Structure 1
Amino acid sequence: MTNSKHLSPGEARAQGPTIKQTLMADAIPPPPALLAQSQQFLGDEDIPVSRYTSRAFFQREVDSLWRYSWQWACREEHIPDEGDNYVYNIGPYSVIIVRVDDDTIKAFVNSCTHRGTRLLASEGCGYSQGFTCPFHGWSWQLDGSIKNIPGRWDFPHVNGDSHGLAEVSCERWGGFVFINIDPKAKPLADYLGPMDEHFKQFPLQQRRIKTHVKKLLPANWKVAQEAFMEAYHNFETHDSPHGANAQYDIFSDYVSRFIHNIGHYSPEALADYPGEKWRAPPLTEQQQLEALAIEGRVLKDGETARQIAAQTLRETISAELGVDLEHCSDSVMLDSIEYHLFPNMFFFPGVMIPMVYRFRPNGDDVDSCIFDIMVMELMPENAEHPEPPEPIELGIDQSYTDAKELGWLAPVYDEDTSNLQMQTLGLKGASKGVSLGNYQESRIRRVHKTLDNFMKEHEQPSQEDNNG
């Protein structure tokens, strides 16, 4: 570890080569977005455990976060044709996203404007020529306008404008359909900030959903997502040396990122980790290549495991998928590059690690959440998106290896989520707050600070205040 005695809080970094130095030494250098760096010290006070365990805090999130934040609900290929719809649930809220015509996608609150009954019961894909309430038969066109009211004579006070379906803000980006229940929501572009420019170099609309796994996890949604926001856990949880010198960037209140190298690690960065496994003697480049399951290839003078691993992947994936990766950088081919978009979304622009994640409360349960993983596979340019696969749903006690489609990722996800139940139990009996590293866990602190500011902005006056 860098000697921190004479450094200000948050300035200390791991020893050894930086991520930028590693990327600049690659055979094919990275796009400009990956060379951007932005870090700030956000404080070192403890995070109160009540933020993860308190029913009152959970209810504040229901009232002042999920109703007002942008979230991706589905992909455009979930609703390719007129009448196709997708139901997305977040906490107590439910939204219908519908393809109105070739060029128009709208979103509506999944609730009858007569007496509130949900119009569509199940989350996921569906089709209809309109929407009909199963209670009294009120119906609406795809654009949300009133179609029919049985016993119309008894509702002279109802007109189309007053009782059309309640529209929800809806925008598209990177092939994803985003919703915001707040009708006065600021534009999605304001939320995305630098992500829009960065992802022009990693076009997500040119990817398809190869696999979608939806699993129930035994932890608050923040506990679960924070397990994926740092590489500090890699040494113990994954028995891996990668990530000890990961780079963490905070680009805005809403957007952060980490980059950690695959196919290269720095023994110096592990200087104050326990044991000698990864330090003495450090793995040779040849051993690192074999650890990446690339066997039978002997490195020539000047070659690195990282360069050969990247080139092998280029050749293999190009042949499998029919995509041109000739100029794709070593970093995009190999590295774990993870962007977080507040409050609960993760986007990985890499080729070997090409996922998106989403963490949501499981109904009104403080102590469990829904974790969506989509593996986003590259598509040839101008190819049409195939029909997306049905999500594989896993229960709270199931292993990710039950989702065979995840392949080598399945046991990694088992490791990533193996500590969540114990952490949930530990938080309930904790005698102090949660302590975060100044640098490696700064992204977690950014989320909590943004969450506080966001909820303060959107909290409504109490009924007593309204009556006062």
Structure 2
Amino acid sequence: MNDSTIIKLKDLPKGAARCPGAPSTQDIIAADKVAAPGWVRSESYHFMGDEDISKDRYIDADYAKREFKNLWTRTWQFACREEHIPNVGDYHVYDIGPYSFIITRVTETEVRGYYNACLHRGTKLRASGTEGSAEEFKCSFHGWSWNLDGSHKETVCHWDFPHVEPNNFALPQVRVELMWGFVFINMDPDAPSFADYVGAEAKSHFDKWGLEDRSIYLHVVKRLPCNWKLGIDAFLEAYHVIETHPQVAISNADANSQYDTYGEHVNRFISTLGVLSPHLYGQYTEQDIFDQFTIGDATAMGGAAKPKVPQGSTARAEMAVMFRGMFEQASGTDLSKVSDSELLDAFSYTIFPNIFLWPGISLPLVYRFRPDPHDHRKCLYEVFFMKPVAPGTARPMPAEPIRLQDHQSFCEAPGMTEAFGKILDQDTDNLILQQEGLEASAKSGLTLGNYQEIRVRHFERAVDKYVGK
């Protein structure tokens, strides 16, 4: 970039600058053979200022305490999937910080969430990290019990508790809403509905994905040595790709990525794949791009010879044809009307405070981050891999979580591909350096890009709303 280009960029309105000389995400998608739907073709960027973000939120233990009091008690959170509790009596324990809930199916159509504590002397009714099926919830300490609907069933030695009125001793409930196959909870009785919380525009995108028709086939859990918000921030932009993931930059239009915000609680990026990074223009051919992105996939299709990109075509166009056939065969579904963009591209939506939804066909993922209740410098990171349920087939039970030790690579998780495991390792290896660097830094805050890091600013603005600056 020369001096005159820099001067011209400075003259632009704040937030208007885009990667010079590179097509936009929408330009790339517009050239696809199978056109993208409206939710893909939309844009919703808003400049939100350029002041630094205070680093205290990541390093201050008292700030974490305020989050537990003011943020986690007032926001909608993904507690489990409906397939975790398919039958009446099934339950799943969800913890967030010091709080714990029993999520249970009371009837075929109703799911409830109970505070996971006996009303006698406070013992957890079900251990954290457990799930199963029950006809009642009985305390293991003194045997007090509650029915599935939360009503009080038995007080052992009731004669000694004349002051306990069973009708007034039901298990306290948390709010529950079911959406797209997820079970969401909120501790705040006065919070907006989940639909209002995400907003009409974002919900209209989510409604089109069919996530209710997917199931979890791999679930990997690992503790990370960083504040939970640093974990969130690390996945909110593609700006890091060229340095952190150089092996994928050949087929990732990182600097071309599109960033959007929707209301207070939802944001997204679209990062087009099968397209060369602007950082590498002139260094690779369309065949190089195709070979890098599809490495291993050609052999997975019966050991056929590596396909060639015809003259006049592009790696992205040929990848769309190849992947359409692969995914149709793997899922047993007709994808002829699914756009090239939905097949190939990385779509990442965040629902505040801690959920990432990746609805694309090639990256059908969900991320969830939860703070460590005992150490604000650590968090729990979960990756859920989801695949479509073939029409007419029974929904499988979700995969059991694979819990990695702190020192283990994501590549060690059974079922994880080496290529994706390496990407997750690269992402998370940065985080201990960032956590320690923020604590050592003489600078009081983080300086963010106006466009490529707008999701970070949007997310941290929502944190400020609940916790305060």
TM-score with structure 2 length normalisation?
Answer: 0.92
Q: How many angstroms apart in 2 are the aligned matches of 1:40 and 1:265?
A: 27
Deviant stretches of 4+, over 3 Å: none
C-alpha RMSD of the superposition: 1.5
Identical pairs, percent:
42
Q: Cα distance, 1:362 vs. partner?
A: 1.6
- Alpha carbons 1:323, 1:379 under 8 Å: kept: no
Q: Structure 1 residues 437, 161: CA separation in 2 closer, same or farther (over 3 Å shift)?
A: farther
* Structure 1 match to 2:453: 441
Counterpart pick for 1:163 among 166, 169, 176: 169
Equivalent in 4, 9, 23 of residue 4 of structure 1: 9
Within 5 Å, give how 1:282-293 maps onto structure 2: 282-292=283-293, 293=295
1:362 aligns with 2:362: no
Of the three residues 411, 420, 432, the one matched with 1:409 is 420
Question: How many residue pairs are counted as aligned between the two chains?
Answer: 447
Q: Once the two structures are superposed, what CA deviation does each residue of 1:15-43 show, in whole Å capped at 9, x if it has no partner?
A: 21000111110011111101110111111
**8 Å Cα contact 2:220/2:402 also seen in 1:** yes
Q: Which residue of 2 aligns with 1:228?
A: 235
Range moving further from structure 2, 288-297 or 75-84 = 288-297
The 5 Å alignment of 1:175-214 reads: 175-193=181-199, 194-214=201-221
SS of aligned partner of 1:212: strand
2:301 matched residue in structure 1: none
Q: Residue 66 of structure 2 aligns to which amino acid in structure 1?
A: R
Counterpart for residue 323 of structure 1: 333
Offset at residue 159 of structure 1 (A): 2.1
Q: Displacement of 1:378 after TM fit?
A: 1.6
Residue 14 of structure 1 aligns with which residue? 19
Match of 1:255 in 2: 266
Q: Secondary structure at the match of 1:179?
A: strand
Partner of 1:426: 437
The reply to whether residue 296 of structure 1 matches residue 306 of structure 2 is: yes
Deviation of 1:310 (Å): 1.3
In the alignment, is the contact (CA less than 8 A) between 1:168 and 1:181 conserved in 2?
A: yes
Q: For residue 59 of structure 1, report the CA deviation from its aligned partner.
A: 0.3
Q: What code does the residue aligned with 2:213 have?
A: Q
Distance in structure 2 (CA, Å) of the matches to 1:159 and 1:387 = 39
Question: For residue 463 of structure 1, what is the aligned residue in structure 2?
Answer: none
Whether the 8 Å CA contact 1:170–1:177 is kept in 2: the answer is yes
User: Letter of the aligned partner of 2:13 in structure 1?
Assistant: S
Does the CA-based 8 Å contact 1:351-1:378 persist in structure 2? no
Once residues 393 and 228 of structure 2 are traced to their aligned partners in structure 1, the CA distance between those partners, rounded to angstroms, is 36
Correspondence 1:111-150 to 2 at 5 A: 111-150=117-156
Greater alpha carbon shift after TM alignment, 230-239 vs 395-404: 395-404
Preserved CA contact (<8 Å) 1:100 1:143: yes
Deviation string, structure 1 residues 358-396 (Cα, Å, up to 9, x no partner): 100122210110001000112223432101111000121
1:375 aligned onto 2:382: no
Q: Partner of 2:81 in structure 1?
A: 75
TM-score w.r.t. the length of structure 1 is: 0.93
Distance in 1 (CA, whole Å) between partners of 2:378 and 2:323 is: 37
Distance 2:62 2:414 in 1: 39
Secondary structure of residue in 2 paired with 1:404: coil
Match of residue 466 from structure 2: 454
Shift of 1:302: 3.1
d(CA) in 1 for partners of 2:182 and 2:433?
A: 34
Tell me how far apart the structure 2 counterparts of residues 205 and 37 of structure 1 sit (CA, whole Å). 25
Deviation at 1:206, TM superposition (A): 1.0
Ranges in structure 1 where 5+ consecutive residues have no aligned partner: 271-277, 458-468
1:456 and 1:5 map into 2 onto residues whose CA distance is: 32
Deviations 1:177-209 (A, max 9, x none): 011122333211111213321022211011110
Residue-by-residue CA offset, 1:61-94 (whole Å, 9 max, x unaligned): 0101111111011110000111110000100000
Residues in 2 aligned to 1:157 and 1:422: alpha-carbon distance in whole angstroms: 56
